[in-house]
């Protein structure tokens, strides 16, 4: 690994490959890789909330699967709540 000394009296140097100033002998490259991985996961979570886009762990040609699954789930919850309200009204009328 190549280092350019920035402040040798403090042990600081610039990592040539990543371009960051750190303590010499320590590289931020593994941390940057993990941050990139977390950035992809965060984008995937945003795509899950919107219901559109391609997810990281999905198979090809399933871009709209979250949209359809959300619609079907909403339909079933609406049916259950509607029947519960209708049952309460029917019992209250009797």
The whole-number pLDDT of residue 65 equals 81
CB atoms within 10 A of CB 24: 19
Residue 87 resides in a domain = yes
Residue 80 resides in a domain = yes
Domain limits at 77? 29-93
Tell me if 17 sits within 8 A of 30, measured CB to CB: no
Residue 56 resides in a domain = yes
Alpha-carbon gap, residue 92 to 60, rounded angstroms = 51
The DSSP line for 26-74 is --SHHHHHHHHHHHHHHHHHHHHHHT-S--TTPPTT-TTHHHHHHHHHH
Instruction: Quick: pLDDT tens for 47-94.
Output: 777 777 777 777 788 777 888 888 999 999 999 999 999 999 999 998
Q: pTM of the prediction? A: 0.48
What is the count of structural domains for the chain?
1
Judge whether residue 1 has pLDDT over 80: no
Instruction: Quick: pLDDT tens for 2-16.
Output: 778 888 888 888 878
User: Is residue 12 classed as helix, strand or coil in its secondary structure?
Assistant: strand
């Amino acid at each position: 690994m190549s280092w350019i000394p920035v402040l040798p009296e403090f042990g600081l140097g610039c990592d040539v490959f990543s371009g960051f100033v750190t303590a010499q002998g320590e590289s931020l490259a593994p941390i940057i890789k993990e941050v990139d991985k977390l950035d992809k996961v965060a984008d995937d979570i945003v795509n899950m909330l919107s219901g559109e886009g391609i997810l990281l762990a999905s198979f090809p040609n399933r871009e709209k699967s979250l949209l359809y699954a959300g619609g079907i789930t909403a339909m079933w919850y609406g049916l259950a709540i509607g029947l519960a309200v209708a049952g309460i009204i029917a019992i209250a009328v009797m």
